[in-house]
Amino acid sequence: MSRSIQRRTFLTGAAALAVAATAVGAPPATAAPRASAAATSTAVSAATSTAASTAVSTAFELPDDRAYPEGIAADPRTGDLYVGSYTTGAVYRATPGRRTAEVFLPAGADGRSTANGLKVDRAGRLWVTDSTSGVDVYDLRTRALLARFDVPGNAPRFVNDLAVTADGTVYLTDSVREVVYRVTPAQLAAARGGRATLTTAYDLSGVVAPHPSGAYTLNGIAAQDGYLLTVDMTAGALYRVDLATGDIRQVALSGGDLVNGDGLELVGGRLWAALNGTNTITRWRLSANGTAARLEKSVTDPALQIPTTLVRRNGRTLVVRSQFDKGGPMGPGTPETPFTVAWVHGI
C-alpha cells in the first residue's frame, strides 16, 4: 500500500512514494479507450499498452466522500468485494450486481482508524491491516471481530499488505521494520476472541537496497506454491522468499522495474502490480520457479488516480483509485467524488 509524499515517503527518489463481470456488474462494452505510456523508469516500448488496447472505467462507487480507499479483497465463495478506507478505517462491501458499495464495518470500528491491506481467506474470514498496530480478523457472516494481532514493542512500524497461502497461513509486510510477519491457523485459533502478538517470519532488512532514513520499503505481497513475492517500492525491486528454506533472493526483472510498487496480484505464472505514484499497472511473466520476471505490458493513465491495490477474477482487473494526492495523505486538494474502484481493460 502507498504512503504520503515527504510525510510518509509515498514516492521514491525526490519524494519517495476484479472479480468476474457478475461480481459487480460487467464493464461497459463501449468504454472509450484512454491513451497510456510506459509504466516504469526503464520499461521498453514493446511492453507499453496502446490507446486501442486499454481503457479505464468505473466498476463501482464508494459511499463515503472521505474514503480515500487503499486495499481490496475478493471473497472467492461469493464474488463480494471488500475495500478499506485509509483515512477512517471503514470497510465497504460491493455485492454482485450493485454499482454502489455499502458500509460493512463503520469508520473507527473496534478502535481502528485506518485500513490498509485486505484479504478474505477460504474459511470466510476478512483480514484487515491497521498500519499503526497490526491486523484484525473478522467473521464475514456475523461481522464479529475474531482476533487481533499486534506488532510487538514501541518502535516505529507500518503494517502494510498481506497474503494468504493455501494452508491458511497469513503473511504481512512491515514497510518500516522491513520484515514479514506470519500468522498460522494454530495461532489464530489460540487467539480467538482476544489479542495476540505478531511474530516475525522473515527479516529482509539486510537484503533490501540502501535507502534514505524513513523511506518505506516492503509493500505488496503475494503467495505462490512454495514461495512469497514482495516488492520494495523505494528501490523498485522484487524479492522471493522460499517458504520451505527461508531463502531470500532478489527476482531478476527484465524490461522494467517496480519503483512505486504497491499492491500485487499473482495468478498462475503472471504477476500484476499497481505503481501508485505513476498511475500505472504492469503485468509480468514469471519464470517457472519465480526467480525471474519479464515485463509483458503496462498501462499508464491519469484516470487510475493513484492506484494502490488490485484484484483479478476471470480475466478482469479491478483497481482501487485512492486519490491520495487530492486532499489525502499525499497532500492538499479536493477529491473527485464519489470515490470509485476501476475496471482496467486490456491488461
pLDDT at 209: 95
Burial of 84 (0-12, 13-18, 19+ CB in 10 A): buried
Rounded to an integer, the average pLDDT of 225-240 is: 97
How far is C-alpha 262 from the geometric centre of its chain's CA atoms?
6
Confidence tier at 54 by pLDDT (50, 70, 90): confident
pLDDT at 138: 98
Share of the chain above pLDDT 70, in %: 85
Smallest Cα–Cα separation from 91: which of 76, 80, 77, 79?
A: 80
316 pLDDT above the threshold of 80:
yes
How far is C-alpha 316 from the geometric centre of its chain's CA atoms?
16
pLDDT at 114: 97
Q: Count CB atoms within 10 A of the CB of residue 210.
A: 7
Inter-residue contact 145 to 138 (CB < 8 Å): yes
DSSP 278: G
- Alpha-carbon distance of 15 to 10, in angstroms, equals 7
Q: What is the pTM of this model?
A: 0.87
Smallest Cα–Cα separation from 1: which of 328, 291, 333?
A: 328
DSSP 54: -
Inter-residue contact 72 to 92 (CB < 8 Å): no
Query: Mean pLDDT across the chain, nearest whole number?
Result: 87
Q: Identify which has the larger pLDDT, 288 or 17.
A: 288
Grid cell locating 117: 491491506
Smallest Cα–Cα separation from 259: which of 303, 214, 215?
A: 215
Q: Identify which has the larger pLDDT, 99 or 20.
A: 99
